[in-house]
Structure 1
Amino acid sequence: MKLRSHFVLSLMLILLSLFLTGCSIGKSGKSSADWAFSFVVWDGYIYKISDGYVVEISNEIGQVTKYSDMEGTYSENFSNKYVEGTKYYSIKGINPEAAIAVEEQDGKYRKALRQGKYGEK
């Protein structure tokens, strides 16, 4: 009898720990995402954040209007890395259809490479 109660208690603790370490759910009912990569969305296209920096920027072309780390598809200039208000710039000598620059807090500009239409699979 004592062995059975230990078994049941152990099983309950294992199930509880599995439940607590599962996917977190936010207020919206959506699960937190494990994005494949960091990105920004500009003008309906997704741009993957690269490891490289840009030295010469040109014109400001937009900014992040929605940040979230929750899984889902969002409208506007969305990012899963940068907060609202982060500015986008064109890169001198590079067409924005290929890449844009994203201003970081340290005053540097991270290169972001266009991947395709946002929301398409």
Structure 2
Amino acid sequence: MKVKTFIFSICVFSFLLVAGCSSSADWNSSFVVWNGYLYEVSDEYVTETNDEIGRVTKYSDKEGTYSGNFSNKYKKGTKLYSIKGVHTDEAIAIEEEGKYRKAISNGRYGEK
């Protein structure tokens, strides 16, 4: 009986451990991670951008933790821009089919 209890305890502990682990990215929404910050893609478009600030270096639709400038929506090579009059701590723009979609900062990646 002790063996069954021990195995059951291990199974429960393992389940709780896995359930308690969460990704720092909200995979229920589209996002880009740039320069260590998580930006949630909005429905808003911007008309004025400044300089290109980077590109998506990795695309993945599989939940996990990645490094670099990655996205769960945009493919590798997608260009990222600063927005005229808006600090990159607040929002950035993502080039999308000739338009620039606004992505709003959700804080440092990995701190949620």
TM-score bracket, shorter-length normalisation: 0.7 to 0.9
Post-superposition Cα deviations, 1:43-72, rounded to whole Å, max 9, x if no partner, equal 000000000001000000001001000110
Q: Select the residue among 36, 45, 51 that pairs with 1:59.
A: 51
Q: Which TM-score applies when normalising by structure 2? A: 0.75
Q: Select the residue among 57, 63, 67 that pairs with 1:71.
A: 63
Give the SS at the match of 1:51: strand
Paired position in structure 2 for 1:85 = 77
Identity score, percent: 68
AA of the residue aligned to 1:111: K
Paired position in structure 1 for 2:23 = none
Give the SS at the match of 1:69: coil
Which is greater in Rg? 1
Does 2:112 match 1:115? Answer: no
**Structure 1 portions without partners, runs of 5+:** 1-33
Q: Which has the higher contact order (CA 8 A, sep 6+)?
A: 2
CA distance in 2, matches of 1:45, 1:55: 23
Paired residues, what number?
Answer: 87
| Structure (1/2) with the larger strand percentage | 2
Cα RMSD of the aligned pairs, angstroms, is: 1.1
**Structure 2 portions without partners, runs of 5+:** 1-25
